[in-house]
Amino acid sequence: DLHVGALRALAHGFAQVRLAEAIVAWRHGREADPVARIADRDDGHYDVVVIGAGPAGLAAATQARRQRLSVGLLEARGAGGLLRQADRVENYLGVDACSGTELVARFVAHAERAGVQIRRARADLVALGADGRIRITLEDDRIVHGRAVILATGSRPRHAGIDGEAGLAHRRLFYGVRELIESSPTSGDVLVVGGGDAAVDQAIQLRRRGWCPILVVRGDRLRALPLLRDRVEALGIEVRRHAVLT
């Protein structure tokens, strides 16, 4: 059987390659052992359990289904991960420029055509059982079993590090544009902290939705791509430099 380390997929492009290599080795071993097949695929027992339905997790689950493996794809919030925050995706070869949510919808549709079903659940603990099977304990204490697990949990937004941040989080301080828009019924002034691609992209998205974003950066310039900086200037988005968060 495969173990957790053999299928640890934490990066976008490597998820498919590592999974494919691991599955080849595993399938050779399984062909001679028909008992290894699990009869009931609906009771929480899978060949492969993928934790996280971002781009890497969706790709890994799709490739596993193409290998005729049963797949349990667990996602705590919503498919797509941070890609859902993107205003426009313009650097994905073969795909015309579209919003992050549009691209996520295409990814999900592709995965579903391959037979992947996303299960809304949060994994709290991954452990190797005495029987050699991997046990994933969910938030509601249910148990999901798998012969292999792929960790595609993505990344977490960086915290601001200001006093009282915990009390402000998800009420007046947000870690993504979608969370802000869904939480606030009206537009207004909003500080966007950061000068990289993600921060600038989200400021542009807010501006186009009628908000008045102000980019706050610690340095003397934006670090985002030139084309994003051009859009900031064209949209008249204010940039405050040499800022200190308190």
Q: How confident is the model at residue 1 (pLDDT cuts 50, 70, 90)?
A: very low
pLDDT of 114 strictly over 50: yes
Q: How confident is the model at residue 178 (pLDDT cuts 50, 70, 90)?
A: confident
Between 96 and 3, residue with greater pLDDT? 96
Tell me: the pLDDT tens digits for 132-163? 889 999 998 899 999 999 999 988 888 888 88
Lowest-confidence range among 20-24, 44-48, 64-68, 134-138? 20-24
Q: Strand, helix or coil at 145?
A: strand
Report the percent of the chain where pLDDT is more than 90. 61
Q: How long, in residues, is the chain?
A: 246
Q: How confident is the model at residue 221 (pLDDT cuts 50, 70, 90)?
A: very high
Helix, strand, coil abundance in the chain, percent, nearest 5: 35, 20, 45
Tell me: the pLDDT tens digits for 89-99? 998 899 999 99
Report the percent of the chain where pLDDT is more than 70. 82
Tell me: the pLDDT tens digits for 62-88? 999 999 999 999 999 889 998 998 988
Report, as an integer, the average pLDDT of 124-139: 89
Report, as an integer, the average pLDDT of 101-106: 95
pLDDT of 34 strictly over 70: no
Average confidence score pLDDT of the chain: 83
- pLDDT at residue 245 in the model: 84
pTM of the model: 0.75
CA pair distance 35, 118, nearest whole angstrom:
27
Q: Please name the residues in contact with 68: beta carbons below 8 A apart, sequence gap of 6 or more.
A: none
pLDDT of 24 strictly over 50: no
Between 110 and 42, residue with greater pLDDT? 110
pLDDT of 40 strictly over 50: no
Q: How confident is the model at residue 227 (pLDDT cuts 50, 70, 90)?
A: very high
Q: Which helix (H) or strand (E) holds 146?
A: strand 143-151
Distance in Å from the first CA to the final CA of the chain:
51
91 in Cβ contact with 228 (< 8 Å): no
